[in-house]
Structure 1
Amino acid sequence: MDFGRLITALVTPFDDQLRVDWAGFEKLMDYVVNEQQSDSLVICGTTGESPTVTEEEKLKLFEAAVKHAGGRYKIIAGTGSNDTAHSIHLSQAAEKLGVDALLLVAPYYSRPSQEGMYQHFKAIAESVSIPVILYNVPGRTGVNLDADTTIRLSQIPNIVATKDCASTDQLTMIANGAAEGFRVYSGDDSATLPALSVGAHGIVSVASHVIGKEMKNMINCYLQGDVQGAAKLHGKLLPVFRGLFNCPYPVPNPAPVKFALNHKGISVGGVRLPLMNVTEKEGQFIASLFE
C-alpha cells in the first residue's frame, strides 16, 4: 500500500467549548490534502491530541475521516498505546470502520524491553489484517525502539513502515536492514531532506499543515535529482520547521501549529489540558514566520 511521500499527522479541530468540531474536521482534511498536497492523513496521532481524545471520539473521527476521504487518499488511524490489550481492541475497531492502516506508537512511560516492544507490536499486528506503521518517538515515550528491533518487526508481513524520530543514524540502519518494501518515514520535519538522503521514503509531518506545498516541492526536487535546489528550499523552510516547536523556546505540539492554522484562517480551535495554548508573545513569533 502506498501512503505517498508526504503524510500529515492531522490536528483535531475543537470548537470554543473544546468539543470536536466535526464540520471543521472535514474542512481541515480538504485543506491539508487539496491545498497543502498531503498524500495521506494520520488521524488521532499525538498531533491529534490522542491522550485527551476519548475512545468514543476517536472511533467517530476514524469513521468520519474514512467517509470523507472516500478512497481518494489513505486514512491512517492512531491506535497505539502502552496497553497492548487496549491497542488491539482499538485497532480492531478502527479496522472495522474501514481505515487503511494503523499507526502504533512505542509503549510510553512503562519503558518495556526491546523484546517487550517486539511482542507488543507483533501481537497488535497479528490481530488485524490491515497494514501497520510503527512510531518511534523517544523524546515523548521515554524509550527507543532500536533499529535492530524495527528490522526484526519488518519481517512481519503487515508491518510495512516506520515513523522514526530517533536519529538520522537510526533511519540509515533501518533503511539498509529492513525487509524489502518496508518504508522508513522521518517524524522530524527539519530532518525531511537529510532523511531522504539516507534512504527514507518520506515524512510524517506537522509543518505540512501550513507549508505542505513547499515541502512537496522540496521532496520532488530531491527525487528529480535537483539536490542543490532541494537544499535551498530546505534552508528556506527550516525557520518554520524549527519555529513550530520552538517559539522562541520549546512549546509542546500541537499548540503552535494550531495557532498557525488559526492565523491563516483555518479554524481549529485550541488545545485540551494539560496542554496550553500559546502565549501572546509565542503567537507573535509564530505569526512572524509567515510574513
Structure 2
Amino acid sequence: MDFGRLITAMVTPFDKQGRINWNETSKLIDYLIEEQQSDSLVIAGTTGESPTLSDDEKLELFRFAVEKANNRCKIIAGTGCNNTAHSIHMTQEAEKLGVDGLLLVVPYYNRPSQEGVFRHFEAIANSTELPIILYNVPSRTVTSLSVDTTLRLAEIPNIVATKECASVDQVTQLVAGANEKFRVYSGDDSAALPTLAVGAYGIISVASHIIGVPMKKMITSYLEGDIKEAARLHQQLFPVFKGLFESPSPLPNPSAVKYALELLGHQVGDVRLPLISPNEEESEFIKKLVSSL
C-alpha cells in the first residue's frame, strides 16, 4: 500500500448546530484531492476533532469518505485510542467499510510502559489485515513511542509506517534502523523538508488544506535533486507552517486551519468545545496569513 508523499489530516466540517455538514464534507474531499493534490486523507484524526466525535459519527465519516473518494486517493481511518479493546472494535468496523489503512495514536493519559504500548499495537495489528500507520505525538499523549519500540513494531507485517512528531533526531534513527519497506512520515509541517533530508518518505499535514500544491512541489523538487528550489519553497511556506499553530499565541489544532478555510470560502464551520475559535487578534493574524498566499 502506497499512501503517497502528501497526506492531509482532514478537518471535520460542522454546521451551525455543531452536526457534521455532509454537503461541505463532500466538497472538501473533492477540493483536497483535486485542488490541493493530497495523495491520501486521514479521517477522524486529531485535526478531524476525533476526541469529540462519537463512534457512530466516525464510522459514518469513514463510509462517506470511501464512497466520495472513489479510489481517487487513499482513505486512512483514525481508529486509535487509549483503550485497546475499543481500538480493535473501531478498527474492525472501519475495515468492513472499505478504508485503505489506519492511523493509530500512542495510548494517551493512562501512560503505559513501552512493553504495554508494543502489546497494544500488536493486538490491533493482529485483529486486522489493513496496513497501519503508527502515530507518535508525545506533546499530546505524554507517553512517547521510543525508537526501539517503533523498530520492534516495524517487524509486524501490516505495520507499514509511522507519523513521527518527536524530533528530526528520532526520524533519523528510525530511517537508519527500520527495514526498507517501513516508511517514516513527518507529522510536523515545518519539519517536512528537514525530515526528507534524513530519509523520511513524506508528510502527514495540516497546512496542506491551504498550501498543498506548493508543498507537493517542495517535496517533488527535493526528490528530483533540486535542493535549492525545495529550500526556497520551504522558506516561503514556513510562515504558514508556524502561523497555523503558534501565532500570535499557541492555537489548538484545528482552530486556525478551519478559520483559514472559511476565509477561502469553505464552510467547514466552528470547532467543538472544548476547542474554541480564534480570538480577534488571532483572526486578524490568520487573515493576513491567508492574504499572503
Answer whether TM exceeds 0.5 for this pair.
Answer: yes
CA distance in 2 between counterparts of 1:279 and 1:29 reads: 28
CA distance in 1 between counterparts of 2:148 and 2:274 reads: 35
Task: Tell me the equivalent position of 2:34.
Answer: 34
Q: Which amino acid aligns with 1:215?
A: M
Query: CA deviation digits over 1:120-170, x for unaligned, max 9?
Result: 000001100110110000001111101111011000000000001000000
> Structure 1 residue 98: deviation in Å?
0.3
CA distance in 1 between counterparts of 2:111 and 2:236 reads: 37
Task: Tell me the equivalent position of 2:108.
Answer: 108
Task: Tell me the equivalent position of 1:127.
Answer: 127
Whether the 8 Å CA contact 2:263–2:290 is kept in 1: the answer is: no
Task: Tell me the equivalent position of 1:209.
Answer: 209
Q: Which amino acid aligns with 1:196?
A: L
Task: Tell me the equivalent position of 1:117.
Answer: 117
Task: Tell me the equivalent position of 2:223.
Answer: 223
CA distance in 1 between counterparts of 2:33 and 2:241 reads: 19
> Structure 1 residue 247: deviation in Å?
2.2
Task: Tell me the equivalent position of 2:136.
Answer: 136
CA distance in 1 between counterparts of 2:179 and 2:220 reads: 25
Q: How does 1:1-291 map to 2 (within 5 A)?
A: 1-291=1-291
CA distance in 2 between counterparts of 1:230 and 1:216 reads: 10
> Structure 1 residue 287: deviation in Å?
1.1
CA distance in 2 between counterparts of 1:147 and 1:259 reads: 36
Q: Which amino acid aligns with 2:94?
A: A
CA distance in 2 between counterparts of 1:108 and 1:179 reads: 27
CA distance in 2 between counterparts of 1:97 and 1:216 reads: 29
The runs of at least 4 aligned residues of structure 1 exceeding 6 Å deviation read none
CA distance in 1 between counterparts of 2:111 and 2:179 reads: 26
Whether the 8 Å CA contact 2:193–2:234 is kept in 1: the answer is: yes
Count of paired positions? 291
For structure 2, the 5+ residue unaligned runs are none
Whether the 8 Å CA contact 2:172–2:199 is kept in 1: the answer is: yes
Query: CA deviation digits over 1:162-190, x for unaligned, max 9?
Result: 00100000001111111221000000000
DSSP-derived class of the 2:281 partner: helix
CA distance in 2 between counterparts of 1:249 and 1:269 reads: 21
CA distance in 2 between counterparts of 1:48 and 1:257 reads: 11
User: What is the TM-score normalised by the length of structure 1?
Assistant: 0.99
Query: CA deviation digits over 1:190-247, x for unaligned, max 9?
Result: 0000010000000000000000001001101101101011001100100000000012
> Structure 1 residue 290: deviation in Å?
2.2
CA distance in 2 between counterparts of 1:12 and 1:122 reads: 29
For structure 1, the 5+ residue unaligned runs are none
CA distance in 1 between counterparts of 2:39 and 2:102 reads: 16
User: What is the TM-score normalised by the length of structure 2?
Assistant: 0.99
| Aligned CA-pair RMSD | 0.6
> Structure 1 residue 249: deviation in Å?
1.1
DSSP-derived class of the 2:87 partner: helix
Q: Which amino acid aligns with 1:138?
A: P
CA distance in 1 between counterparts of 2:59 and 2:270 reads: 21
> Structure 1 residue 87: deviation in Å?
0.2
Whether the 8 Å CA contact 2:33–2:72 is kept in 1: the answer is: no
CA distance in 1 between counterparts of 2:248 and 2:41 reads: 28
